[in-house]
Amino acid sequence: MLLLLRLLRLHLLLGLVLGALSSHAQKCRLVPRQQVHLGSTNPQGPLSGGNNDTVASSTSVQPSQTSSSSASASATPSITPFNYGKDIIRGVNLGGWFVLEPWITPSIFENTNNSDIIDEYTFGQMLDEDYALDVLQNHWATWITEDDFVAIKAAGLNHVRMQIGYWSVPLTSADTNFTTSVAPYVPGAWPYLLRALGWARAHGVHVILDLHGAPGSQNGFDNSGRRGNANWAQGSSNVNRTLDVIRFLAEQIGGMIDVLEVLNEPAGYQSDIGGIIAGYWQDAYDVVRAAAGSSLKVMIGDAFLGVAHWDGFMTGSSAQGVLMDYHEYQVFNYNQLAFDDNDHIGSSCSVLSQLQSYASQNLFTISGEWSNAVTDCAKWLNGRGVGARWDGTWQPGQQVFGSCDGWSGNMSSFSDDYKMFLRKYWESQVAIGEAVQGWIFWTWKAENADDWSYQRGLEGGWIPQDPTDRMYPDICS
């Protein structure tokens, strides 16, 4: 297996080198900051950002051989700047790509044959370094390809939200006074991120770049890179190190993206860090403005506190171009799992007026994560080796709602009635987002959780090919 992975790695590297040789040299804005695991390939080509700034990246990479010729980005078109606050964001998250999540790609974790590997931190910690890199490079090259950007655009979507962990941002000692070591994380995703930004640009898809994992973990979830304790706010070093990451991103790729989300889901419910989060939001905003000017939008989040908690925050003249990210899931507590179909839709619609009220007086607001799921049945959704509340395998002795059969996994097991409900539920949550500045579905694809997959929803018919189509136009009326 290791030999095959290394051969595949060499094959991918050869493809990248050949792509580099055929590219046109450009005067580059970005100089390689450190050695990356794509050999010496530094193909150059113009990349214009969502803010309509044109830059050339000497560390960008060419589309891999996994993409079809019809999806070629050789002729990069101009992208129309997005009018935030006027135009509706309709988008999808590219979850599980540059930040691993066991429930999105369980095969990566199963193939380790080590049940103690539960997140990206332990993936790097417990595996041979070369083997881990081979696996990750194959994943980065194949999980999302240029064809996915073509399909996303064809589905009528105008945004992707792309996740990245701090360990994939190649800071050097010139960029930070803190350590540049990210061990045991395995770095190397940066060139693949740059290539993805080129694909987005080529196909007219705007980009929200989301710092999904911070030093110390901002929430203790596996989607932060490390499951366990949330230590990001314990002491100032992690917070300040994160600001250095934000500065680097704004300086180096601020012209290639539309929005920089400065941290995903910090654990605001911890009683001692609310003030730290508020201070970080303001400091990160200041860092972005100093590094990238005023055109790059900055996104903050409600930190699990609800948008009303942030009423009046960062609304003055000293904070322009700021957006609020709101996340809505109905699968992580027993009360919501007990909802019937109408309860789920009603609960979604009940948020609409709250978001409208906040957005009208405060920040442009986006429903940045939500899904079609109404159970926590997706394998390892609650963490590798952790069961589901729905069927009683999460904590034995608690309420059981039934079998997970037919609720998640492959859509071939979904009943027609369930698919019809998924359509209604999708429309109710779209109504929430479009009552404010827009929405971004979680997520584009998953190996075996079709209730969470926009791609599979399109195939299964419960998500329309045109996101403006409505079967239930008055669902929240």
Catalytic residue among 101, 261, 328, 369: 369
C-alpha dihedral sign at 231, 280, 261, 87? positive
Query: Residue 159 pairs with which residues in a beta bridge?
Result: 91, 206
Cis peptide before 63 (omega within 30 of 0): no
Length of the chain: 477
> Is 328 annotated in the active site?
no
What Å distances lie between residue 41 and 8, 20, 133, 366, 368, CA to CA?
Answer: 17, 7, 17, 38, 35
31 burial (CB, 10 Å; 0-12 / 13-18 / 19+) is exposed
Spatial distance between the Cα atoms of 85 and 192, rounded to a whole number of angstroms: 30
Pair of tokens at residue 462: 């419960």
Spatial distance between the Cα atoms of 362 and 282, rounded to a whole number of angstroms: 15
50 burial (CB, 10 Å; 0-12 / 13-18 / 19+) is buried
**157 touches 28 (CB < 8 A):** no
Closest CA to 437 of 334, 340, 380, 356: 356
C-alpha count within 13 angstroms, C-beta hemisphere, residue 207: 34
> Is 265 annotated in the active site?
yes
**50 touches 81 (CB < 8 A):** yes
Catalytic residue among 101, 120, 146, 265: 265
Amino acid making up residue 308: A
C-alpha count within 13 angstroms, C-beta hemisphere, residue 91: 28
> Could you give the residue numbers annotated as active site?
265, 369
